[in-house]
Amino acid sequence: MICILLVAGHGTVLETQIKNDDTGLYSLLRGVPKALLPGIGGKKILDFWWETVNMRQLFTEVYLVTNADKYKHFERWATANDFPVENVINDGSTTLEDQLGAVADLQLAIRSRKLQDDIMVIAGDMLCADQNFDVAQVIRFFRSKPGELIIYYELEESEKSSSRGIVEVCPDTHRITRFLEKPQEGLTDSRLASVVFYCIQRDTLSHLSDFLSLQPQASDRSFGRFWEWLVNDKQLDVFGMKLPTGFQLIGQVGLSDYTKWLTHYSTKPQDNPAKPITFRSYARVGLMGNPSDGFNGKTIAMSISNFWAEVTLVESQTLVLVPHPLNDPTEFGSLQDLFCISRKEGYLGGLRLLQATCKKFYQFCSKQGIALTKQNFTLKYDTNIPRQVGLAGSSAIVSATLKCLMKFYNITDNDLPKPIRANFILNVETDELFITAGLQDRVVQVYEGLVYMDFSKKLMEEQGYGNYVPMDMSGLPPFWLAYLSDPSDSGRIHSNIRQRWLSGEPLVVEAMKTFAELTDKARMALRARDWSSLAQLMDQNFELRRTVYTDDCLGPGNLKMVQLAKQFGSAVKLPGSGGAVVGLCLDNARLVELRQAFQEAGCVFCVITPYNPSASTVGGQH
């Protein structure tokens, strides 16, 4: 592949204003080409782009196209920066009136050097907010698509779409469906701005001549007009890749805007990389409908602040995953100590969850056409969610890790919407780690709070996710939670239900429909604050589950906790896959007795504190 840096623009507003500035602050910049003006981090703007593409393993050659007026500046720059002087191409123009135009400059480079390869084109006078993005990832994505590639970013609030080339991108194929050069307000809802950063296939280069023959005026030979013609008129396959950063073409702004954007980009959070990013995700209790989330049913679940997983990310020289001293032990007091810990907790701690999430995150971004920066980090986690009692401890670690990665790489809700995020977390566990799981836990950990979920077959097939509705959490009754101090693997309780459901066994199929009906009734009870009806529905949920799964599958520990709760008149059900029970006791005096009874039975008991995201720090960040 060959890279061509374009720096041949003329007579900009910025150059004129620097020349006429009488403060003396910019006297040293008079006559300096805009690509050689100071950029971020003390580098010249062009220095950054040369460092980015100066990789022999990616590019066989790098060329730079300038004009006759500024040629000497770039010749000196090339000598000082180990850029091959023979690759600096002079387009012969000296003024704005005799300029060739950006597309004609590209054509000049291709013809004069007889280039016959794929081309990457970059404007060398472009400020880039992110100084670490991975150009190799751009090339890999380009080569995975049967067409050209345009780099775009999401406009900041202060930027107007009427000043940029705007792309409309199909979220599934990443194909650019429409290109609009500086559209008038109201012509498109897209806020995705194209920048002069393209990859063009060698077979498409012939279209440059066709376009230029249609545009005799140099002012019309811009890349914006070229892509409008190629995408809208010729309808060639052109794809888009998002860089989660900002860009500014210096040739389009004046002195005040140049200094404003330079300051803005230089003071972005990335200039303080040592500041840790910390997020929490919370345990959840399934209040109704579970386990039908894996069987096109409906559920209601709630995140609780009693238990949480916390992940911290800090930028570092290498990528490091820090083992948890308790959950990922590597040192033991003795062989007996190792035996006891392994027998009780197994061999699978949280480190595998961090690693699988990172792997899946990179894979997702690559597939979605999002170029990540070349930044490394250290990840560590902590959690107080009891293991193997079905409170979604594994997915909480994955969820918190994903929040950290999204923040670190500036991935927005538009890049990874909440419904897709829940699918992502589930895929980390099921595809990478082969953990038996359903969507419910991941949905409530993404949306947080009290959430109604409909996983109907129609919805799942049509859009790939269900209908998720946050519910009002004000005035909830006192739910309680109890769990076994020595649980078995909660995944075992899923038994052979899936096979029976897939084979169409009437008992299982009808049960899943009934779970959904109970959930709709529970939703109405929650809205009406009818706690007695809700309690009855919770009991019905458990009895239905018991009928389908059988006592042998539920296990004596779970059944013992349920029977104990019923002795004190409390509604009770399983909040997850097993090892814990959630209940609703409307009699405060009996609730006190219930706590004592569970404690005497060797169980851990607590009154639930619901996690309400609207009353807490947004997103669980600390």
The residues assigned a catalytic role are: 441
In this structure, the strands spanning 88-90 and 61-66 are parallel
Q: First and final CA of the chain: distance in angstroms?
A: 45
Q: Per DSSP, what are the bridge partners of residue 3?
A: 62, 120
Q: Per the structure block, which two tokens stand in for 420? A: 């897709």
Residue 86 burial (10 A CB sphere; 0-12, 13-18, 19+): exposed
d(CA 333, CA 437): 34
d(CA 473, CA 571): 20
- Is the bond leading into 33 cis (omega within 30 degrees of zero)? no
Query: What does the alpha-carbon distance between residue 282 and residue 429 come to, in Å, rounded to a whole number?
Result: 17
∠ CA 474-288-514, rounded to 5°: 140
- Give the type of residue at 312: T
Nearest Cα to Cα of residue 563 among 529, 614, 612, 603: 603
Which residues on adjacent β-strands are paired with residue 128?
247
Phi/psi of residue 119, nearest 5 degrees: -125, 135
- The answer to whether the CB of 8 falls within 8 A of the CB of 99 is yes
Number of Cβ atoms within 10 Å of the Cβ of 260: 14
Q: What CA–CA distance (Å, rounded) separates 417 from 328?
A: 32
- DSSP letter string, 168-233: EE-TTT-BEEEEEESPPTTS----EEEEEEEEE-GGGTHHHHHHHHH--SGGG-SHHHHHIIIIII
Q: Name the β-bridge partners of 484.
A: 603
CA atoms within 13 A on the CB side of 228: 14
Reduced to 3 states (helix: H, G, I; strand: E, B; else coil), residue 57 is: coil
